[in-house]
Amino acid sequence: MPRAVGTVGRVSGPGGELQRRLGLTDAVVVGAGSMIGAGVFAAWSPAAEAAGTGLLVGLVIAGVVAFCNATSSAQLAAVHPQSGGTYVYGRRQLGPAWGHLAGWGFVVGKIASCAAMALTVGAYLWPEQERLVGVLAVLLIAAVNIGGLSRTVAVTKALLVVSLVALAAVVVSGWTSDGADLGRITPLDGGVLDVLRSAGFLFFAFAGYARIATLGEEVRDPAVTIPKAIPRALGGVLVLYVVVGVTALAVVPASLLGATDAPLRLVVEAGSLDALAPITRVGAGIAALGVLLNLIPGVSRTTLAMARERDLPEWFAHVDGRRSLPLRAELTVTAVVVALVLMVDLRGAIGLSGVAVLTYYAVTNASALTLEREQRRWPRPVAVLGLVGCIVLVVTLPLEAVLVGAGVLAAGALVRLVTTSRRGPASG
């Protein structure tokens, strides 16, 4: 997944190396801050529609798959300490075609995530004009990124505070409702396929969890710190999500949660503390804007890297000299996101993102399986579980999302085939 923030502690030391300034607590905060974003404000809707109260089981499944994916990413990051994520890991461990699949899956998945985040901004801030607000949000963030705004760990911490305050408002307000009743949660709804589908949707709420795996050069004693930080960050976030999910289901019927694009707004409005409603709406909007602030440049830079390797048209490899950024890629990504905001709904965007990103992580786990014994930090079965989990969650997502996602991934393979055949085989 994309890095939720730009440069964490990225201060050059002797020889231009990064300083190891982050301890265990810092790594956990960065990981949690990368996950607790706008996804938690939106993913409950399609999950509730899919499995009702069974989404709580789906949430745990999504968390387990996320853990497996993050551990595979961490192991691979230690072996290949360079930018590019699974695009690099797949190329090095499995071959260029697999690297391309991962890179294209990342680009497609994160563009869909951008559209989902933009629609989330509209759903919470001005639901009557959801698409208009979404488009304006994308254009605003694109203008900020082109202007060269610097992003640091402080951004992650600030957004984490905003998200936590908004979620606290949801929980506190929800339990002031006269209708709050834990009895709504049982019996759990949905069959096995329904629960797995909800897990595929809720996987979206863990976006950013692999950020910890990219901190190898910036934490003290990474061989010890990173293996400790990943389960702690994921465990803490999972507990928080369970609390929010239980509150939502205890206060608002699952059928109503599944019928809105702003499910947590319903929870707050059901309570007696009306003053907390603006906190949730504005908090969700700010969290979504923060995710957009980092997703759009992340996608554009992956597009740049793929173009340099001839996995995408070389036209995207251009870097604007005056701004020192991949302007063509950035503007193209922005245009595609705007088009998606105008064409798809929130559930469609989350579903497409799930198909593409889970494909990306399937390649991650497959790459981890090829590591030598001395390169492993977690048992091999963890990567096996992650690979199987990704595949299962993909195929249980809505058929339309699977077909569209498969078609877009196939189109990416065709583009690579045409591009490489015209210019000769890519190196590496």
* 7 three-state secondary structure: coil
Q: What is the pLDDT along the chain (428 residues), one digit of tens a residue?
A: 333 333 333 344 444 445 666 778 887 887 787 788 778 999 999 999 999 999 999 999 999 999 999 899 888 888 887 767 888 899 999 999 999 999 999 999 999 999 999 999 999 999 999 999 999 999 998 888 787 655 555 676 788 888 899 999 999 999 999 999 999 998 888 899 999 999 999 999 998 776 666 666 667 777 777 778 888 889 999 999 999 999 999 999 999 999 999 999 999 999 998 889 999 999 999 888 888 887 888 888 888 888 888 888 889 999 888 877 888 999 999 999 999 999 999 999 999 999 999 999 999 999 999 999 999 989 999 999 999 999 999 999 999 999 999 999 999 999 888 877 766 554 44
pLDDT at site 62 = 97
Residues 253-295: tens digit of each pLDDT: 999 999 999 999 999 999 998 889 999 999 999 888 888 887 8
Task: Enter the pTM of the model.
Answer: 0.87
Residues 9, 225 contacting (CB under 8 angstroms): no
Residues 106, 357 contacting (CB under 8 angstroms): yes
Q: How far apart are CA 365 and CA 386, in angstroms?
A: 6
pLDDT at site 320 = 86
Task: Compute the half-sphere exposure of residue 122: CA atoms within 13 Å on the CB side of its CA.
Answer: 21
Cα-based distances in Å from 323 to 282, 296, 318: 32, 16, 12
* 22 three-state secondary structure: strand
Tokens of 227: 């293996």
- Give the homologous superfamily in CATH for domain 14-423: Amino acid/polyamine transporter I (1.20.1740.10)
pLDDT at site 13 = 43
* 23 three-state secondary structure: coil
pLDDT at site 274 = 80
Residues 226, 22 contacting (CB under 8 angstroms): no
pLDDT at site 150 = 52
pLDDT at site 195 = 97
Domain ranges of the chain: 14-423
Residues 357-388: tens digit of each pLDDT: 999 999 999 999 999 999 998 999 999 999 99
pLDDT at site 226 = 76
* Count of residues in the chain: 428
Q: How far apart are CA 189 and CA 48, in angstroms?
A: 10
